[in-house]
Structure 1
Amino acid sequence: MLTITINIVYIMLSLSLLMAFVRLTRGPSLPDRVVSLELIASIVVAFVGVHAVDTGVANLLDVAIVIALTSFLAAVGFARFLERGGPR
C-alpha cells in the first residue's frame, strides 16, 4: 500500500513540475518566471523528501534543507533585483 501511495505522489509531483516548467517558459513577465522558479525548487525539495521516505535514507533530508535554503536566498535576491527596477 505504501508503494502505491509513493508512486502516486511521484506522479503528482511530476505533473506539477511539468506545469511549473510550462509557466517558467511561457510566463509573460519576469515576476511570473521568478515565482515559477521558486515553485520548481519547492517541488524538487518535495521529490527529495519523498525519495528519502521511500528509500529510508535520512541523510537526503539534509540535502532537501540545503536546496530549500538556497532557493529561498535566490528568491530574496530576485525580489531585491525586481524591487530596484529589474532589467534596464
Structure 2
Amino acid sequence: MLALAMVLNLWRVLRGPALPDRILALDTLYINALALLVLLGIRFGTTLYFEVALVIALLGFVGTIALARYVLRRDIIE
C-alpha cells in the first residue's frame, strides 16, 4: 500500500496542476518513504533504516520550508 501511495504521489508531482500541489505531493512522498523505511527497519531488526529515516526527515523538512519560501517570496535566502 505504501508503494502504491508513493507511485500516486509521484504522479501528482509530475502532473500536478499547480506548484503548491506539487510541493504538497513531494512532502507526502517523503513521508511515505519514511514510513517504508521504518517498516523495513522493524522487519529486518536493524537501526540503520531508522537512522536513514531520520536524515530523510530532516532534509525533507528543510526542503519543504525552502520550497514554501520560494513560492511565497520567489527568493529562498533573504
TM-score normalised by length of structure 2: 0.89
Distance 2:32 2:74 in 1: 29
Distance 1:21 1:61 in 2: 23
| Corresponding position of 1:67 | 56
How many residues matched?
75
Which of 26, 29, 37 is matched with 1:37 structurally? 26
Which of 4, 14, 30 is matched with 1:25 structurally? 14
CA RMSD, aligned part only? 1.2
TM-score normalised by length of structure 1: 0.80
**Which residue identity lines up with residue 18 of structure 1 in the other structure?**
V
Distance 1:70 1:43 in 2: 14
Where in structure 2 are there 5+ consecutive unaligned residues?
none
Q: Which runs of 4+ in 1 moved over 4 A?
A: none
**Which residue identity lines up with residue 19 of structure 2 in the other structure?**
L
Shift of 1:18: 1.1
Aligned-pair identity in percent equals 32
Distance 2:7 2:23 in 1: 16
The structure with the larger Rg is: 1
| Corresponding position of 2:37 | 48
Distance 2:2 2:11 in 1: 14
Shift of 1:59: 2.6
| Corresponding position of 1:80 | 69
| Corresponding position of 1:5 | none
| Corresponding position of 1:14 | 3
Shift of 1:85: 4.0
